[in-house]
């Protein structure tokens, strides 16, 4: 056999050295003589997790879930018992146990000081503002100390707007009702009723700046004597309504007054008569 020329042998050797990896997973290795030896690749087998490692992973997962649940529970808004209306309530109404119910609701921080949780805190109080069925009873909507001030005898009368807090009295508030008899230095002012409950206030004009007029005021009076005095004064005297809401007991003090000049003249006349 005639040997191949040297350039031909070099070219065939180069072709054998650039042989690509075949599809059967073997790698060709070129020998010194130019032959190729195929080496089969053995895939690496990863070890499977045992029971102990699986149990450890499960415990770590449960711990993470527990920590997330505790954190969520701590961040949840607190709930509190509050009072809500069982029926629509109007200003001036006296609250009873059948008017309210207790519910558990979520309260924002700081808002709990504006609500009530115990019916005993408000029973006997008077509504200052309207409240719909199911609405939350707030402290600004009820006069809690009105149980002793709610009069069974109601009386309506016209009064000058400027003598009734410019017509800004609200149902559920309380007033001291005063009457002034006479004019000038002979006038005398007396207290007709203290802490009378305002039932209603009807305005007869829009109450804009500079407006004049009268309002119709409805109040509750505690005794027949107060009612008699108020009815008489509404006919012959000038009436003044003084807001006493939140002022506390106002029974201490004089019940009537007159002009100092009139008092001095009365004293002078009395001394002259004694001489």
| CATH code of residue 86 | 3.90.1210.10
Radius of gyration of the chain (CA): 48
Last residue of a domain, one of 112, 143, 174: 143
pLDDT at 51 > cutoff 70: no
Using CA atoms, how far apart are residues 268 and 274, in angstroms rounded to an integer? 10
Which of 89-93, 110-114, 204-208, 227-231 is least confident? 204-208
* Same domain? 170 vs 227: yes
Answer whether residue 31 is part of any domain. no
Answer whether residue 265 is part of any domain. no
Average pLDDT value over all residues in the chain:
74
Instruction: Specify the number of domains making up the chain.
Output: 2
Answer whether residue 133 is part of any domain. yes
* Same domain? 163 vs 254: yes
Answer whether residue 275 is part of any domain. no
The alpha-helical segments, DSSP class H, found in 76-154 are: none
Residue-wise over 11-36: b if at least 16 C-beta within 10 A, else e? eeeeeeeeeeeeeeeeebeeeeeeee
Answer whether residue 24 is part of any domain. no
pLDDT at 177 > cutoff 90: yes
Predicted pLDDT at 75:
56
Answer whether residue 96 is part of any domain. yes
Please give the residue that has the higher pLDDT: either 93 or 269.
93
Q: What is the average per-residue pLDDT within 11-37?
A: 52
Answer whether residue 120 is part of any domain. yes
Using CA atoms, how far apart are residues 25 and 84, in angstroms rounded to an integer? 80
Domain encompassing residue 110: 79-143
Answer whether residue 206 is part of any domain. yes
Last residue of a domain, one of 96, 118, 143: 143
* Same domain? 192 vs 231: yes
What is the pLDDT confidence band of residue 81, given thresholds at 50, 70 and 90?
A: confident
* Same domain? 160 vs 213: yes
pLDDT at 174 > cutoff 60: yes
* Same domain? 93 vs 124: yes
* Same domain? 201 vs 105: no
* Same domain? 164 vs 97: no
* Same domain? 119 vs 176: no
* Same domain? 204 vs 250: yes
* Same domain? 175 vs 220: yes
Predicted pLDDT at 128:
79
* Same domain? 127 vs 170: no
* Same domain? 138 vs 168: no
Q: How far apart are the first and last CA of the chain?
A: 179
Predicted pLDDT at 222:
86
Predicted pLDDT at 269:
56
What is the pLDDT confidence band of residue 115, given thresholds at 50, 70 and 90?
A: confident
């Amino acid at each position: 056999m005639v040997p191949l020329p040297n350039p031909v042998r070099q070219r065939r050797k180069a072709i054998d050295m650039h042989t690509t990896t075949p599809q059967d997973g073997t790698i060709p290795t070129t020998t010194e003589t130019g032959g190729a030896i195929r080496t089969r690749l053995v895939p690496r087998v990863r070890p499977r997790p045992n029971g102990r490692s699986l149990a450890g992973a499960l415990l770590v997962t449960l711990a993470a879930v527990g920590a997330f649940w505790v954190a969520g529970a701590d961040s949840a808004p607190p709930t509190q018992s509050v009072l809500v209306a069982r029926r629509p309530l109007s200003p001036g109404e006296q609250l009873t146990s059948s008017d309210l119910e207790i519910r558990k609701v979520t309260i924002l921080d700081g808002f709990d000081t504006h609500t009530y949780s115990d019916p005993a805190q408000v029973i006997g109080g008077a509504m200052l503002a309207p409240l719909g069925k199911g609405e939350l009873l707030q402290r600004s909507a009820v006069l809690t100390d009105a149980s002793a001030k709610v009069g069974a005898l109601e009386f309506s009368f016209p009064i000058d707007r400027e003598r009734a807090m410019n017509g800004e009295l609200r149902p559920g508030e309380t007033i001291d009702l005063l009457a002034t008899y006479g004019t000038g230095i002979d006038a005398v002012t007396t207290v007709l009723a203290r802490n009378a409950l305002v039932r209603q206030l009807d305005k007869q004009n829009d109450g804009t700046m500079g407006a004049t007029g009268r309002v119709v005021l409805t109040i509750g009076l505690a005794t027949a004597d107060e009612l008699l005095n108020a009815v008489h004064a509404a006919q012959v005297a000038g009436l003044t309504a003084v807001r006493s809401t939140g002022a506390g007991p106002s029974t201490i003090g004089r019940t009537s007054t007159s002009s100092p000049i009139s008092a001095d003249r009365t004293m002078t006349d009395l001394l002259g008569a004694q001489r």
